[in-house]
């Protein structure tokens, strides 16, 4: 914490601690014997023990700690958690969360990130929590947070279309393999099972997604995530045959009537695809600018191949399940790489602006931030990108709409009763 803010974290709760610490000698023993190097010296421990009342012992301990350095709130938080003083720990938690957020890895120097920064990010592991971190203590068991406690959080289904069939007028999506592989590694690190399907036609997108929605893999899941990497148009997302599938056709498969195992659970859709052909220009580009980004656009004609010929109505209000307890549209979040009607952008040597940002932010910040807060940061990064073409800079911004009823934290590194995940022991 900057300056003396760490001291204020203790001073503002000084009276509360004096009145509520159950046994200050337990806290002192933890600070003396369980932390290396010890927070308190042998002489300081004896000074606290020499006081003849609990209140005076707490006061003496706090006065000593205020002279010991800026890591004291973290040590004291740990001591409170280990000595059955959780209410006292809760008083320090907001300050520690702010301290950790200020220490987050810096943003990339520019967006899209330079190749060396992108490669370094791709090699990094997801940042994991420790069981006693404030984020766990404050949010893990909250009724206002979706339960994410299983060792296998749930299923991530990635549809990755790169090779498009001749005659579709859709170019191959070079660079999408970087998105696919980085997203796969990201969500494995966030404790999800990941299934990848490459190069699906429009009908296969529907059939494979329906198969997943009805599979046993959905059972015993805390969360479901569908990621689509493809061309798109103003109707939806494109199969490799040019058939455009409305996103609503896919989301409806996971509504409670059709997928009761996900009732009241978060269902997340991350979509990298153009949604039209509009390009929004800002200040003119310099003549020396080198363009590496391409659009993920598809056909933009209302009469061309769509899923109107596919029987998608069978998913609507069929056999209402007794397990349905909330509105069918509740608990969804759908995030798009670009606004409605607009082009999306992808670098052929590193991946799309949007999915690079998702991987970057989730990898480094999921241990402290909920999903909506992270997607706000993703929007910020994507909005910084500029694609140069014909003497102009073109920009976009990712966006999302949400019917989530609670906060969604991934809690990377823990599962069950706040146990450390084996992969975070290295």
Which of 345, 358, 349 shows the shortest CA–CA distance to 394?
A: 345
Contact 344, 112 (CB under 8 A): no
Of 231, 238, 259, 367, which is the active-site residue?
Answer: 231
Give residue for tokens 């899941």: 221
Q: Indicate the pairing of strand 332-336 with strand 267-272.
A: parallel
Q: What six digits make up the tokens of 238?
A: 């494109």
Please state, in angstroms and rounded to a whole number, the distance separating the CA atoms of residues 5 and 16: 18
Please tell me which residue in 88, 223, 274, 424 is annotated as part of the active site: 274
136 is catalytic: no
Write down the residue that tokens 């455009």 correspond to.
244
Clarify whether 274 is annotated catalytic.
yes
User: Both tokens of residue 273?
Assistant: 């695809």
Burial-class residue 425 by CB neighbours within 10 Å (0-12, 13-18, 19+). Answer: exposed
* Two structure tokens written together for 348: 């052929």
Nearest to 200 by CA among 235, 173, 178, 233: 173
CA 97 – CA 76 distance, rounded (Å): 14
Catalytic positions are: 231, 274
């Amino acid at each position: 914490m900057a300056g003396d803010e760490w001291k204020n974290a203790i001073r503002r709760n000084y009276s509360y601690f004096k009145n509520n610490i159950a046994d200050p000698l337990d806290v002192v023993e933890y600070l003396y014997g369980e932390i290396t190097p010890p927070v308190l010296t042998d002489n300081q421990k004896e000074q606290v023990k020499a006081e003849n009342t609990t209140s005076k012992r707490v006061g003496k301990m706090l006065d000593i700690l205020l002279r010991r350095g800026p890591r004291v709130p973290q040590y004291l938080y740990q001591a409170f958690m280990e000595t059955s003083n959780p209410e006292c720990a809760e008083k320090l938690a907001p300050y520690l969360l702010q301290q950790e957020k200020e220490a987050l890895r810096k943003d990339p120097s520019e967006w899209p990130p330079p190749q060396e920064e992108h490669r370094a990010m791709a090699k990094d592991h997801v940042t994991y929590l420790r069981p006693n971190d404030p984020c766990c203590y404050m949010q893990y068991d909250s009724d206002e947070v979706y339960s994410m406690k299983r060792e296998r959080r749930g299923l991530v289904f990635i549809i990755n279309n790169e090779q498009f069939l001749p005659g579709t007028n859709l170019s191959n999506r070079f660079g999408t393999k970087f998105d696919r592989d980085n997203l796969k590694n990201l969500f494995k690190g966030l404790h999800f099972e990941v299934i990848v399907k490459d190069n699906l036609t429009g009908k296969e997108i529907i059939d494979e997604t329906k198969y997943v929605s009805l599979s046993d893999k959905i059972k015993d899941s805390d969360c479901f995530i569908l990621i689509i990497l493809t061309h798109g148009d103003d109707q939806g997302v494109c199969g490799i045959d040019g058939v455009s599938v409305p996103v609503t056709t896919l989301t409806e498969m996971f509504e409670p009537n059709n997928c009761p195992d996900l009732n009241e659970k978060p269902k997340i859709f991350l979509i990298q695809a153009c949604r039209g052909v509009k390009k929004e220009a800002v200040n003119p580009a310099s003549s020396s600018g080198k363009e590496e980004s391409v659009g993920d656009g598809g056909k933009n004609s209302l009469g061309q191949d769509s899923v109107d010929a596919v029987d998608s109505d069978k998913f609507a209000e069929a056999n209402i399940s007794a397990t349905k307890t909330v509105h069918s549209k509740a608990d969804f979040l759908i995030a798009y790489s670009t606004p409605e009607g607009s082009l999306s952008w992808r670098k052929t040597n590193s991946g799309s602006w949007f999915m690079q940002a998702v991987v970057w932010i989730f990898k480094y910040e999921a241990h402290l931030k909920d999903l909506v807060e992270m997607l706000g940061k993703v929007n910020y990064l994507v909005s910084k990108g500029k694609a140069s073409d014909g003497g102009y800079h073109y920009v976009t911004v990712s966006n999302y709409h949400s019917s989530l009823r609670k906060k969604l934290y991934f809690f990377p590194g823990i599962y069950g009763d706040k146990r450390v995940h084996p992969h975070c022991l290295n």
